[in-house]
Amino acid sequence: MKKIITLLFLPSLLSFFILKCAMQKAPGGGPVDRTPPTVSSVFPQADSLHIPITLRQIRIRFSERMKRSSLVDNIFISPPVAYKVEWKGWDKLFLYLNDSLRTDQTYVISIASGAADLHNNFMKQSYQFAFSTGNQIDQGSIAGKVYDLKRNQIVTIFAYDLSENKSFNPAQEEPLYVSKSGKDGSFELNYLKDGLFRVLAVGDQNHNLLLDEAYEQVGFPYRDVLLKGTANHFHNLNFRMTRLDSIAPRFTGLRPLLNTWLDLRFSEAVVADSLNFSLVDSASGQPHIILGKSADRQDHNVLNVFTQPLDSGRVYRFRLSGIRDSSGNVRDTVITDYFLGVNKRDTSRFKILAWTPKDSSRNVSPRRSIYLEVNHPLFGKSLQKAFLLQRKDGTLWPGRWQWKSLFQVRFVPDQIFTPDSSYEMTIPLNEVTDLWSAAMPDSLASHYFSIVSARTLGEISGTVVPSLQKDQRLVLTLHSLRSSRNNYRFILNGTSAFYFSCLPEGEYLLSAYLDLDKNERYSKGGLHPFVYSEPFLFSADTIKVRKRWEKSGLKFYFPQLKDSL
């Protein structure tokens, strides 16, 4: 009986061991493998010439047993060739080509650094090799970096040959060459032929080598790149990612919040200044006065509209046109909506909710602005007339007003505050009114603050190379590595010398962009119609600022200045 049991058990035991051996699993025991995989051999061999156009397979062998799924979206053939994948073991990858190759064409096989072995060790860097069906290997290259990426975010680099196809439709046409950015955003496109190339950085989420405009981010170049002869290497083609917006905003509803306050809701944030309103009593046709409009403080998709008091229960007709978003998309229709007036009134007292710098603040930054927030929509001119800012010695300190909404305003001084000095802000509250002419309580509000000592500050100076032309504007920004809020700007108009004063001690990075449209805002480009981005560059080295010390003689090399002439 024991022998029968043993014989019956044996097939099950053999099946267990066979299944165990077939499982994709890293061998247990011993020290943890932290060695990144590499490519140990390829076929055709790198830089091979005269490869037949009837080539049917490409073979790649790795130094480690690989996680097969990690190769699915991390291997590319440029120019694109349809293929299917087969593995032999866990380290030998076969690409079986479905189509014939082009004549006299260099082909590039790229394996991105996202490829990993069974221990989840990723390749230290991407790997490329090339072969040619002709008598030479193309040697052109384009390199650069993608900025503003999230941690470990990787994007795909698309390169289109405009000398072959000038139509350029990245939503329908695959690029001729493909690469991936590294974890630091840097990329290289190698083994390129001579030609005129347009390069995009694309967050290709579905890995279809097409730009899906509705949901994928894209970075636009500041120029196209011509590779020809010995001038076949191009560097510093840098990108900043943006999300395309080609859909006009929609009006989704109106709600009377108070008898003087309407909330308009849209599918996205709209530009308030582009809107046209009319409000009438639907029964009599009598127009009703609209006093102002403002972005909502909490919901960007809501616009507040303020009116003279409306009658409860009466039907009003509201008409709206000129709906436009910040991307320039316009809904060219007139919207009509009807609503009932409500009896709810705002009984709160008009007051200041926030005012910074706070009273008696010390060690305030010389570049600090003044921020005010109130609970009723402001009649702006009344605040501008009443507000006074002066240094302790009586010197008036003028500036400009920036309105985020009718509730939130910022006063930006025309010049930075003087270190080791004190300032006073005063507002006679009874002179500040809301849109309905209600004033704040009758009192004089004052805030005193003092500026940090010059002994704690440093400065840097230098020049931009090459020199700017008379009609060129370059906007430089000094980025603090200690705090993302401490960024300082300096604008050059046709001159090349820059100077940043009153800087807290620390480490900084310098960046710049060429302000081609002269609006002092960086333009990331567009697709419909195609628009190049503005050229920009980040310095490779950090700048150390020491207190009571001027770091002078800096050279900021900005080669895109020549490219933009």
Residue 533 lies in a domain: yes
**What tens digit of pLDDT does each residue of 73-86 get?**
899 999 999 999 99
The per-residue pLDDT for 6 is: 42
The per-residue pLDDT for 326 is: 86
Residue 471 lies in a domain: yes
Pick the last residue of a domain from 410, 428, 452: 452
Instruction: For residues 114-124, give the mean pLDDT.
Output: 92
**What tens digit of pLDDT does each residue of 338-386 get?**
999 999 999 999 999 999 999 999 999 999 999 999 999 999 999 999 9
- CA–CA dist 263, 310 (Å, integer): 14
Q: Which two tokens stand for residue 280?
A: 């009438």
Instruction: For residues 408-417, give the mean pLDDT.
Output: 97
The per-residue pLDDT for 49 is: 97
Q: Cis (ω within 30 of 0) for the bond into 529?
A: yes
Find the helix or strand (DSSP H, E) in which 156 lies. strand 156-161
Residue 28 lies in a domain: no
Report the SS3 class of residue 487. strand
- CA–CA dist 425, 415 (Å, integer): 16
Model confidence band, residue 565 (pLDDT cutoffs 50, 70, 90): very low
Find the helix or strand (DSSP H, E) in which 383 lies. helix 380-386
CA neighbours closer than 13 Å in the CB half-sphere of residue 240: 17
Residue 290 lies in a domain: yes
Instruction: For residues 299-322, give the mean pLDDT.
Output: 96
Q: Is the pLDDT of residue 10 over 50?
A: no
Considering the domain architecture, whether residues 320 and 395 belong to the same structural domain is answered as no
Pick the last residue of a domain from 340, 362, 384: 340
In this prediction the pTM is: 0.82
Considering the domain architecture, whether residues 216 and 131 belong to the same structural domain is answered as yes
Q: Which of 127, 138, 146, 139 is nearest to 75 (CA)?
A: 127
Percentage of the chain exceeding pLDDT 90: 82
The per-residue pLDDT for 113 is: 86
- Report how many domains make up the chain: 4
Considering the domain architecture, whether residues 559 and 461 belong to the same structural domain is answered as yes
Considering the domain architecture, whether residues 224 and 105 belong to the same structural domain is answered as yes
Pick the last residue of a domain from 312, 340, 368: 340
The per-residue pLDDT for 29 is: 54
Considering the domain architecture, whether residues 295 and 376 belong to the same structural domain is answered as no
Q: How far is CA 121 from CA 64, 183, 322, 328, in A?
A: 10, 14, 55, 46
Considering the domain architecture, whether residues 386 and 530 belong to the same structural domain is answered as no
Phi, psi of 116, rounded to the nearest 5 degrees: -135, 155
The per-residue pLDDT for 147 is: 92
Q: Is the pLDDT of residue 2 over 50?
A: no
| Cα angle 48-49-52, degrees, rounded to a multiple of 5 | 105
Residue 167 lies in a domain: yes
- CA–CA dist 93, 450 (Å, integer): 68
Model confidence band, residue 19 (pLDDT cutoffs 50, 70, 90): very low
DSSP string, 226-280: EEBTTB-EE----EE-EE---S---EEEEEEEETTEEEEEESS---GGG-EEEEE
Q: What single letter denotes the amino acid at residue 264? A: L
Considering the domain architecture, whether residues 447 and 363 belong to the same structural domain is answered as yes
Mean pLDDT score of the chain: 91
The per-residue pLDDT for 563 is: 65
Q: Is the pLDDT of residue 485 over 80?
A: no
Model confidence band, residue 30 (pLDDT cutoffs 50, 70, 90): low
Residue 11 lies in a domain: no
Here the CATH number for the domain that contains residue 502 is 2.60.40.1120
Number of other CB atoms surrounding residue 121 within 10 Å: 17
**What tens digit of pLDDT does each residue of 155-199 get?**
999 999 998 777 789 999 999 999 999 888 999 999 999 999 999
Q: How far is CA 160 from CA 71, 123, 173, 192, 312, in A?
A: 24, 27, 9, 11, 62
DSSP string, 302-345: EEEEEESPPPTT-EEEEEEE-EE-TT--EE-S-EEEEEE-----
- CA–CA dist 560, 237 (Å, integer): 9
Domain of 391, in residue numbers: 352-452
**What tens digit of pLDDT does each residue of 200-232 get?**
999 999 989 999 988 899 999 999 999 999 999
Model confidence band, residue 7 (pLDDT cutoffs 50, 70, 90): very low
Here the CATH number for the domain that contains residue 310 is 2.60.40.1220
Residue 26 lies in a domain: no
- CA–CA dist 122, 126 (Å, integer): 10
Q: Contact, 498 vs 463, CB < 8 A?
A: yes
Considering the domain architecture, whether residues 66 and 103 belong to the same structural domain is answered as yes
Residue 49 lies in a domain: yes
**What tens digit of pLDDT does each residue of 228-252 get?**
999 999 999 999 999 888 889 999 9
Considering the domain architecture, whether residues 178 and 234 belong to the same structural domain is answered as yes
Considering the domain architecture, whether residues 261 and 223 belong to the same structural domain is answered as no
Considering the domain architecture, whether residues 239 and 122 belong to the same structural domain is answered as yes
Considering the domain architecture, whether residues 169 and 225 belong to the same structural domain is answered as yes
The per-residue pLDDT for 102 is: 94
Residue in the structure block whose two tokens are 């709600």? 255
Q: Is the pLDDT of residue 20 over 50?
A: no
